[in-house]
Chains A and B, each alone.
Chain A
């Protein structure tokens, strides 16, 4: 991985394998920009980042769950219900800070329940979060009903999704800040090391005196937090809260970004930085196909194929 490692062919191959995704992203950018020069315009590039911001926030926050060997399928409905809770909090006239806190709390709460069931009752994560996906979607529908709730005359709130700071859209800044915090936690705190340790060998982590159950619970809470944050940003961006936001497939996109990035679905090996690469990779592919007017059905198939190919290459590279 080191720059000095370029000296020998073996090192070079290792460097290629370690940075395959980065190279792939650059290659795709070059191909798309030759096919359609508008692709590399600053507006489009910022557009790409803004488009990936929502699921980028979710993916970075959900990376720890995957690293511990778990999975969180409930992010879609959490996104929806967080938007609804914020909408009603606004309606109740709460100050902005409390609006945001209440929206985020729902996500954290769902995460704590997920994590508690996984860590303390030792239920399989895929079942727990699948069940929670249904429960939370149902709750969102009870709370919000089928209709759209327009968020009007709330300039402070809509600033979160539609505002600009230093010429950059606020969602991008939130995404950037989330990513930085998560990278920091992963690399620079004992928690980050412990998350990897649990994914690698949970029993050994427990026997080393770590509170593995509390940590696993926390990790799901972080994932719920990320989904709720994305929900707040989205509702503010489109001035609407709706119980069916974050439709089926949201969780798959999130998992795809994490896994394409190179975090092992079996747990252990992984990083938030790799998830970022995965997010951008999928974002670039999406946007490029839109610009080239690829029909949506073909896009879906292409995305599926790309994910499989990327995973296949990653498996061979390591």
Chain B
């Protein structure tokens, strides 16, 4: 092929402080090509995308659009040259109509700067027709189903004459039937010569939709191939890497402790919440790590929040240590020995401007209370101990926690429960945005808690994490716990297959 790629990144490297987020990465997309981009969290996918959209400039390397060198770190210029990006979360004005969203910020004008509604409608209809999409131009975007919102975003990109569309997990919030609809739209685009970069954790989608595949790990592109020439186990192996694969094998050879000591700590029976999850039943045992995996949007987060009392359920029952436990608030759950590490540490977990010591103390201020007084000395002492036992870097309790790296922030968030010696520890995606080293440390902490006799419940989308950490594995699909396995007796392929299952 002598044709120039629509977009091509060459030897892209990005360094943040002493963290190399991206190392010498190449990526090119030809007209009509759908390229899958896969890798575990922190593999450098988003950094690569950010460079291609101009959201950030690479430390080294070059980007070409249609064979011409493009300026780096200039998002407006990249849009002008036809590079668009569609993010996981909608980037639309929900109260405005589809038509207004399509032309947001660049509505056609008449003389005197008045909006030219007629021309706007004409152009919008033309756009719909050209790309074979059926949308009600006057509907408010917020009232549309998620998949149509995605289509609005795609059309918005096309209205700007996008030649390349980067899609960051576009199906994360979609039901399976909607995924098929979105894929049909993408195929129409391909036929029209648009290039697509498709990021997804769901390998099924990659194999169904994409022509080519780029696999990333630890900031590097580790393989590139046509989808036809590669099989799924190879992809998984490449994503995970030799070292983790070996460690995972080692962890796998470690004695798994399914059902731990045999004592049921938490029993969920037929838990249901209308429109969210239903028929969820499982036992969580003292001394085991139980991982619940599934797609984003499979309602795992909602389930564990229910266990912790920050959300309610409609029916079913919950028992802790054999006693009923429908907690009306987190404080009641905590009083019964439950600790909870939420998914989004910046939004739900940490007081970012407060110090490491204060954050570590946040779940146990009652322990530092004497009458009305706060025993600051004790708090600082407990903080110092936690910092050293968790090896939080830098080991300075007076630092505001937002100055720490993601991995160390996460250690603070886990650490704040440990002094309570929780009987049940629930963690939602405990290692998102955490580097490999800190990941291993967090795993070690969780194993230590398990060995101490705590019941540990981990929600994770990262299958490697699940295979490495779990004593038992539960799979959640669309609000149902469809399977529970002993980790010793199950292969990753089987879990992958179950995750992708559609429930009727």
Known: A194-B365, A203-B347. A189 touches B354 (CB 8 A): no
Q: Is B362 positioned at the interface, with any CB of A under 8 Å from its CB?
A: yes
Q: Is B373 positioned at the interface, with any CB of A under 8 Å from its CB?
A: yes
Residues of A close to B366: CB separation below 8 A: 190
Q: How many A-B residue pairs have CB under 8 A?
A: 74
Q: Is A298 positioned at the interface, with any CB of B under 8 Å from its CB?
A: no
Q: Is A120 positioned at the interface, with any CB of B under 8 Å from its CB?
A: no
How many chain-B residues does the 8 Å CB contact rule pick out? 31
Contacting residues of chain A (179-197) with chain B, CB-CB under 8 angstroms:
188-194, 196-197
A203 to chain B, nearest CB (A): 5
A18 to chain B, nearest CB (A): 15
Known: A200-B354, A201-B352, A208-B363. A192 touches B374 (CB 8 A): yes
Is B374 a contact of A189 with CB atoms below 8 Å? yes
Known: A188-B373, A207-B342. A200 touches B352 (CB 8 A): yes
Q: Is B182 positioned at the interface, with any CB of A under 8 Å from its CB?
A: no
* Cβ-defined partner of B358 (8 Å) among A193, A206, A210: A193
How far apart sit A268 and B401, CA to CA, in the bound complex (Å)? 14
Nearest CB to that of A201 among chain B residues?
Answer: B351
Nearest CB to that of B342 among chain A residues?
Answer: A207
Q: Is B368 positioned at the interface, with any CB of A under 8 Å from its CB?
A: yes
B412 to chain A, nearest CB (A): 11
A185 to chain B, nearest CB (A): 8
Contacting residues of chain A (141-190) with chain B, CB-CB under 8 angstroms:
188-190
Nearest CB to that of A210 among chain B residues?
Answer: B331
Q: Is B349 positioned at the interface, with any CB of A under 8 Å from its CB?
A: yes
Contacting residues of chain A (96-146) with chain B, CB-CB under 8 angstroms:
none
Q: Is A46 positioned at the interface, with any CB of B under 8 Å from its CB?
A: no
Q: Is A205 positioned at the interface, with any CB of B under 8 Å from its CB?
A: yes
Nearest CB to that of B372 among chain A residues?
Answer: A189
Contacting residues of chain B (372-390) with chain A, CB-CB under 8 angstroms:
372-374, 376
Known: A206-B330, A207-B340, A209-B331. A193 touches B374 (CB 8 A): yes
Interface 1/0s, chain A 199-241, versus B by CB < 8 A? Answer: 0110111111111000000000000000000000000000000
Q: Is B416 positioned at the interface, with any CB of A under 8 Å from its CB?
A: yes
A113 to chain B, nearest CB (A): 23
Interface 1/0s, chain B 297-310, versus A by CB < 8 A? Answer: 00000000000101
Determine which residue in A196, A200, A203 has the highest number of CB atoms from chain B within 10 A of its CB, and name it.
A200
Residues of B close to A269: CB separation below 8 A: 353
Is A204 a contact of B330 with CB atoms below 8 Å? no
Q: Give me 28 A-to-B residue pairs in the complex whose CB atoms sit less than 8 angstroms apart, sorted by A's number.
A: A188-B373, A188-B374, A188-B376, A190-B368, A193-B365, A197-B358, A197-B362, A200-B352, A200-B353, A201-B348, A201-B350, A201-B351, A203-B347, A203-B348, A204-B347, A205-B351, A205-B362, A206-B329, A207-B308, A207-B330, A207-B342, A208-B362, A209-B331, A209-B363, A210-B331, A210-B362, A210-B365, A268-B353
Task: State the 9 A-B residue pairs at the shortest beta-carbon distance, nearest first.
Answer: A209-B334, A200-B351, A209-B331, A190-B365, A208-B363, A208-B362, A190-B374, A201-B351, A197-B351
Listed in ascending order, the chain B residues whose CB lies under 8 Å from chain A are 308, 310, 329-331, 333-335, 340, 342, 347-354, 358, 361-363, 365-366, 368-369, 372-374, 376, 416
